Amino acid sequence: MKKIGLFIEFKDDEIKPANDGMVTMAQGDGHELFALVVNADAAACRERLSAYGVSAVVDITAGGGAWHPDGWADAVVQAMNACGIETLMGLTSPQGRDLLPRIAAVLDAPLVMDCVGVDLDRNVARTTQYSGKAMAEIQLTGRHHIYGIRAGAVSPAPRAAAAEVHAFSAVEPTASGIEVLSTRPGEAGTVDLAEADIIIAGGRGMKSGENFKLLQDCARAMGAAVGASRVAVDEGWVPYTFQVGQTGSKVNPKVYIACGISGSVQHFAGMKSSEMIIAVNKDPGAAIIGKCDYYIVGDLFEIIPEVTRALGAAG
């Protein structure tokens, strides 16, 4: 039996839907799945985790319940050691990017982030490199193996199990050198781009920040998150958190709708693994037209409001 630890992420006290795909990835004959839940309501998510094959939920209490990057990393390592877990998976989310490398550093263990596939029996990870231009198969050696999983890389598939909840209190770690002064919330109600099913993104063709309201309206009507090209960010039309691409978020939605975006290599580096790409561009010669699944040649200022209208009529 190989024990697989799964670091479960929460947002606003709710388990993130992206965990389901990650748990699915860990399923396998002879794998015993341990969900590691830090400072959250473990009992409340027991059923959901059971449905995807988790057989134990480790309810970890660390540092009096508050968020602390080193404290949490240390608590996860303690729980792994206590349960005899040597393989750990977590999401390559903003929290995962802060936590998984810390855990890898504490254990001095190999880590591959942003995996689109894992072979937990051979300790091999699949991930893209060079701005999404190459797919790498990476062998991890050593005693512990850690994987950051790309949200949405695998569709969730149920596998019934009956998880038991085990409480675990982490020992207060030695002083870490980090004091969390405060956490400033982001914009309320914004979906993290990396975990969105539908993204509608705007580029230079949007012409102003004001015009992004068109996309916001359309996004609301279809339950999408709004993204942007770097140009739109550099122009100050939208904050950096909207940026998709090489130096922005890497996203993996079911549908990516690019409006007034030309399709540069750097933009594609962040969204080329989308299941379906739809381009709205007035230039039939734009690079994105040759690299998408569907395109509409035309003025986005005419098309997007019509889409919002059509969604209203359809809904």
Footprint of ligand FAD (CB under 6 A):
203-205, 229-232, 243-248, 260-262, 264, 266-267, 270, 280-283, 286, 299-301
Please enumerate in sequence order all residues whose Cβ is within 8 A of that of 81, keeping only pairs 6 or more positions apart, or say none: none
Which residue lies nearer to another protein by CB, 101 or 209?
A: 101
116 exposed, middle or buried (CB, 10 Å; 0-12, 13-18, 19+)?
middle
Nearest-CA neighbor of 106 among 81, 73, 79?
73
> What, of ligand FAD, another protein, none, does residue 286 touch, CB below 5 to 8 Å by kind?
ligand FAD
How many chain residues interact with another protein (CB under 8 A)? 101
| Of 1, 29, 181, 285, the one binding another protein by CB under 8 A | 181
Task: Determine the 3-state secondary structure of 61 from DSSP.
Answer: strand
* Number of residues written out for the chain: 315
The total of other beta-carbon atoms located within 10 Å of residue 173's CB is 18
| Of 14, 47, 172, 302, the one binding another protein by CB under 8 A | 302
Smallest gap from Cβ 285 to ligand FAD, in A, equals 8
Which residue lies nearer to ligand FAD by CB, 238 or 244?
A: 244
- The single residue listed with the structure tokens 């877990």 is 85
The answer to whether 287 contacts another protein (rule: CB under 8 A) is no
The answer to whether 266 contacts another protein (rule: CB under 8 A) is yes
Contact track, another protein, 15-34, x by CB under 8 A = --------------------
Which residue lies nearer to another protein by CB, 108 or 210?
A: 108
Whole-angstrom Cα Rg for the chain:
21
Amino acid 169 reads S
Q: Which stretch of DSSP H or E encloses residue 15?
A: strand 14-15
The answer to whether 238 contacts another protein (rule: CB under 8 A) is no
